[in-house]
Amino acid sequence: PGPEIRTLIKLNVAAAVGKGADAEPEYRFGGLSVNASFGYLDEYYTRVKDTTAVVVGEAPPDIGKIRWSLGAQYAINLGNYGVLTPRFDVTYTPFSCGDISCTQALANQSYTITNALLTYELDKNWSASFAVTNLTDKLYYLSRFNTGLGFLDGQIAPPRMWNISVRRNLNL
């Protein structure tokens, strides 16, 4: 016998119901600015067609129930020396199944990521920023999947990264 060859085929294998809500409040007071987002999604299979992999009551792949983010910044007026603005952002992504049968090896664990940004604005024409993403250098997967060729694969998120930028408005 020759080697086994598997193919990935997408089929409509079940009926599902989904309900959810989201909110994106923002608050400003003086130099303080706070913004947030909150999302809730409850999606689950209600009826299964000709398959045994789908389980009634389970969520489809890559659907987590609660996601949220929170950001805050404060503009510090330095008088004739410009404005200094520190900013922090925190984002939470929930646990989700990586495949239709919620195989544990393909599950995407929940994670929380923090980013920071410090901006100095000399005037309306010149500014400089220093940013750090994934501040805690957390290792996590954006997604995982079964290749169908006998091994699992996944997309690892970027590690801690930093950047510096300088901006000049030319006002042409």
Tokens (6 digits) for 125: 């024409």
Tokens (6 digits) for 157: 């998120």
- Helix/strand/coil (H/E/C) assignment for every residue in 108-125: ECCEEEEEEEEEEECCCC
CA–CA dist 135, 159 (Å, integer): 9
Positions in the chain short of pLDDT 50: none
Residue owning tokens 């009634």: 56
Neighbouring residues of 117: CB distance < 8 A, sequence distance ≥ 6: 73, 85, 86, 87, 88, 89, 129, 130, 131, 132
| pLDDT reported for residue 21 | 96
Say if residues 165 and 128 touch (Cβ distance below 8 Å).
Answer: yes
Longest dimension (CA), the chain: 80
| pLDDT reported for residue 4 | 57
Secondary structure class of 87 (helix, strand, coil): strand
| pLDDT reported for residue 44 | 84
- What letter does residue 79 receive in the DSSP assignment? G
| pLDDT reported for residue 10 | 63
Tokens (6 digits) for 75: 């503009």
The predicted model scores a pTM of 0.80
Tokens (6 digits) for 95: 């646990």
| Average pLDDT along the chain | 88
| pLDDT reported for residue 45 | 84
**Residue 143 burial (10 A CB sphere; 0-12, 13-18, 19+):** middle
| pLDDT reported for residue 9 | 61
CA 146, 62, 105, 156 dihedral sign is: positive
